[in-house]
Amino acid sequence: MSTTAIETKVALDQALNLDTAPRKQSSVEVTDYNNRQTVGNITVDNPKMVCRGVNVYYGEKHAIKNVGLDIGANEVIAFIGPSGCGKSTFLRCLNRMNDTIPICRVTGQIRLDSDDIYDKSIDVVQLRARVGMVFQKPNPFPKSIYENVAYGPRIHGMVNDKAELDDLVRASLERAGLIKEVDKRMGEPGTSLSGGQQQRLCIARAIAVNPEVILMDEPCSALDPIATAKIEELIDELRENYTIIIVTHSMQQAARVSQRTAYFHLGDLIEVGDTDQIFTNPKHKLTEDYITGRFG
Amino acid sequence: MNKPTPAAGAPAPLNRDIKTIVNAGLKRRHAAERHFRWYGLIAISLGLAFVVLMFANIIGKGYPAFWQTYIQVPIQFDAAVLDPDGKRDPQTLANADYAALVRAGMRQLFPNAQGRLELRALYGLVSSDAAHELHRRVLQTPALIGAEQELWLLASANVDTLVKGNIDRALDESERPIKDNQIEWVNKLQAAGKIEKQFNAILFSNGDSREPEQAGIRGALMGSFYTLLVTFLLSFPIGAATAVYLEEFAPKNRWTDLIEVNINNLAAVPSIVFGLLGLAVFINFFGLPRSAPLVGGLVLSLMTLPVIIIAGRAALTSVPPSIREAALGMGASKLQMVGHHVLPLAMPGMLTGSIIGMARALGESAPLLMIGMVAFIVDVPKSFMDPSTVLPVQIYLWSDLPERAFVERTSAAIMVLLAFMILMNGLAILLRKRFERRW
């Protein structure tokens, strides 16, 4: 039922001919709102992750519809779209966080390098060590700052002794740009930090296990502009070593941090392309409507 | 006359302005609020009044039990009576007639007492425990033999009751448990300063007894301790594990739902039913001994388990999902997620629930009656298998006895029980406050 809400609104707009408000002449290739074929090139030259024919069902609800997308190595790709469009759901397929939802079912193929991550031989523990995640709300463990960062290396047995662990924790905090602020207070609880610092602590925690891909689910939505700027700066630096997939509600943020952008709409991947192209010259009418602020 | 007709569909115009309308109802609204506050106050004061009444009644009745009357008697540790051959042989000393020394001492106090009846009344002023007391002293310091000492000996319960003012002296001799001549002697002793009230250590060091002045709650306390230990050791680990499994690992299907419903219903089963179950299963089928704290603990575990499971699950659900996601996102396995993060965060809540369940078990008597923990047991239990009773059952047993001196002991035992209850609940509150986490 609700899937048609926006379609109805769009159809209504068309019928009332509100479409003709004065604006820059659009150069979209797909003007049919009902055409849900992905526009743009979903493949890249050196993919880190390859998704083909991915469908996600929440019980009866078809949440992600036949999405195919490549994620290039060492790129930042942004998923944008209106609320409930499935961008977070798709993101959570990439490290199988959807497994924790009993009614959720995923079909299709998602490959990390050459491994099918939904294959029976792949253990989620191993997968999640390779594909780290940063959540919408900063969620440090209610333990010390040190323990927060040390947790991943410890459970995966990545270090041999305390000195090695100390180095790794410091290096991770350094890369997350947090070391100056927490150097003297490693023993304080992670929850005593400010929101922005907590989120950077969560990023430090994620990179401490040296993942290949980092998923970020609206990492700045709970932060103020200054903290957001720091995180964005950090994302830009992390790109050198990691592949980053970021879900964001802010189109400005997508434009600032990402090289490629994918636009989702009601479970469909509508358009994907270089960020510059998506924001200056969208090919699909729905994308254009969204980025020009007509809905969403 | 020519009012403009309102447009169709528009609300009818108000003939008074909104201020007047609201003000008209305001008084009523405030009154309702005032009344409600009063009802609340009345309810609370009524409740508090009953609590105060209960405590005043119990403490008023029970506090004299913490003091006990003693009589100062001159005792001659006559070597001829205690140790005729002078070898200090423990066997001889154990069999010696200490009661004779007490009797001699009493006669020395009141040389005028004549005749069998009068002498028996005189000897009845001190407790039969006095002879044992002398034996204990001689064993401790054998040098006493041959010496003479003024000793404070435990008075009998009737004297104690008289001294505490709980026997009406105006009553006819036949209607009170103490004779006229005994009252006279007590008066003389009091006048001479030879009667004194001391702290009643016996209450805490002795087991049950038919003689009120020798009865204590030690046996019941130890019985309660062993029973609760068994209960805690069984119900906490099992309850916590069940809660964790049901909340975190169990597949969400009809079987799990069925188990859940059953556990919730078990919490509401009358406790005596668990007693019957214990009697049928543990005693009749498994052949465990009656009256044993082990069986009592097993029965109380059955009763406490649902409470602990429900409290444990509530504590687990209250751990925010973001913590679970964070752990899983780091690549922790499910068991690691639970063990490293969820369980430590839920532990204070689980412990609080368990302590409240244990407090309930401490106050429970009905199921224990079923398994024979209601017997008259003099010895203080030394293990999980010794026959014993528990504090609430001891209270029940004493409340049934006719002697006036048991009334104050019943109340004193209730005070001790309440003290433990308050202690346990206080511990639960402390734990909750201490380990409350913010995230």
Q: Is residue B133 in some structural domain? A: yes
Kindly give the pairing relationship between strand B67-76 and strand B195-199: antiparallel
Helices B404-435 and B343-362: crossing angle in degrees, nearest 10, is: 170
Q: In this predicted structure, what is the pLDDT of residue A177? A: 87
Task: Write out chain B residues lying below 8 Å of A137, CB-based.
Answer: 322
Q: What is the per-residue pLDDT across B15-41, written as a single tens digit (0 to 9) for each?
A: 778 888 888 889 999 999 999 999 999
Q: Is residue B135 in some structural domain? A: yes
B119 and B189 inside one domain = yes
Spatial separation of the C-alpha atoms in residues B326 and A139, rounded to whole Å: 6
Contact A143, A211 (CB under 8 A): no
Q: In this predicted structure, what is the pLDDT of residue A26? A: 61
Q: What is the per-residue pLDDT across A256-268, written as a single tens digit (0 to 9) for each?
A: 999 999 999 999 9
Q: In this predicted structure, what is the pLDDT of residue A277? A: 93
Contact B298, B278 (CB under 8 A): yes
Asked whether the ipTM of the predicted complex exceeds the cut of 0.90, the reply is no
Q: Is residue B20 in some structural domain? A: no
B373 and B319 inside one domain = yes
DSSP character for B417?
H
Domain boundary among B198, B226, B255: B198
Task: Write out chain B residues lying below 8 Å of A141, CB-based.
Answer: 323, 326-327, 341
Q: Is residue B23 in some structural domain? A: no
The single-letter code of the amino acid at B283 is: I
- For A141, the closest of B326, B328, B336 (CB atoms) is B326
Task: Write out chain B residues lying below 8 Å of A151, CB-based.
Answer: 327, 330, 332, 340
- For B438, the closest of A191, A205, A209 (CB atoms) is A191
To the nearest whole Å, the CA of A17 is away from the closest chain B CA by 30
Q: Is residue B114 in some structural domain? A: yes
- For A137, the closest of B322, B328, B340 (CB atoms) is B322
To the nearest whole Å, the CA of A134 is away from the closest chain B CA by 8
A151 to chain B: closest CA residue: B330
Q: In this predicted structure, what is the pLDDT of residue B90? A: 80
Q: In this predicted structure, what is the pLDDT of residue B410? A: 94
Structural domains of chain B, count: 2
Q: In this predicted structure, what is the pLDDT of residue B438? A: 54
Q: What is the per-residue pLDDT across B61-83, written as a single tens digit (0 to 9) for each?
A: 999 999 999 999 999 888 888 88
pLDDT band per the 50, 70, 90 thresholds, residue A69: very high
Q: In this predicted structure, what is the pLDDT of residue A10? A: 52
- For B326, the closest of A100, A126, A135 (CB atoms) is A135
Spatial separation of the C-alpha atoms in residues B413 and B392, rounded to whole Å: 8
pLDDT(B6) > 60: no
Q: What is the per-residue pLDDT across A244-256, written as a single tens digit (0 to 9) for each?
A: 999 998 889 999 9
B190 and B261 inside one domain = no
B193 and B259 inside one domain = no
Q: What is the per-residue pLDDT across B122-176, written as a single tens digit (0 to 9) for each?
A: 999 999 889 888 888 888 888 888 888 899 999 999 999 999 988 888 888 888 8
pLDDT(A19) > 60: no
Q: Is residue B288 in some structural domain? A: yes
To the nearest whole Å, the CA of A92 is away from the closest chain B CA by 10
Residues 239-278 of A with CB under 8 A from B: none
B192 and B224 inside one domain = no
Q: Which of B248, B324, B330, B437 best tests the A interface by mutation, with the highest count of A CBs <10 A?
A: B330
B191 and B223 inside one domain = no
CATH number, domain of B346, equals 1.10.3720.10
Spatial separation of the C-alpha atoms in residues A247 and A287, rounded to whole Å: 16
Q: Is residue B136 in some structural domain? A: yes
B144 and B265 inside one domain = no
Cβ contact, residue pair B330, A152, below 8 Å: yes
- For A142, the closest of B329, B333, B439 (CB atoms) is B439
Q: In this predicted structure, what is the pLDDT of residue A23? A: 47
Q: What is the per-residue pLDDT across B221-261, written as a single tens digit (0 to 9) for each?
A: 999 999 999 999 999 999 999 999 999 999 888 999 999 99
A149 to chain B: closest CA residue: B330
Cβ contact, residue pair B329, A156, below 8 Å: no
A93 burial type by CB count under 10 A (0-12 exposed, 13-18 middle, 19+ buried):
buried
B342 to chain A: closest CA residue: A141
To the nearest whole Å, the CA of A89 is away from the closest chain B CA by 14
Contact A201, A193 (CB under 8 A): yes
B249 and B173 inside one domain = no
A204 to chain B: closest CA residue: B330
B7 burial type by CB count under 10 A (0-12 exposed, 13-18 middle, 19+ buried):
exposed
Q: Is residue B55 in some structural domain? A: no
Cβ contact, residue pair A97, B325, below 8 Å: yes
As a whole number of Å, the end-to-end CA separation of chain A is: 18
Look up the domain containing B185 and give its range: 68-198
Q: What is the per-residue pLDDT across B274-305, written as a single tens digit (0 to 9) for each?
A: 999 999 999 999 999 999 999 999 999 999 99
Which residues lie across from B260 on neighbouring strands? none
Query: Shortest CA distance to B198 belongs to which of B158, B160, B230, B227?
Result: B160
Cβ contact, residue pair A125, B333, below 8 Å: yes
Residues 235-264 of B with CB under 8 A from A: 252
Contacts with A59 (C-beta within 8 Å, 6 or more apart), sequence order: A103
In the predicted model, what is the mean pLDDT of chain A?
Answer: 87
Under DSSP, is residue A54 helix (H, G, I), strand (E, B) or coil? strand
Residues B315, B317, B321, B327: is their CA dihedral positive or negative?
positive
CB pairs under 8 A between A and B: 65
B373 and B416 inside one domain = yes
B265 and B189 inside one domain = no
Cβ contact, residue pair A126, B331, below 8 Å: yes
To the nearest whole Å, the CA of B318 is away from the closest chain A CA by 14
B152 and B241 inside one domain = no
DSSP result, A60-99? TEEEEEEEEEEEETT-EEEEE-STTSSHHHHHHHTTTGGG
B322 and B423 inside one domain = yes
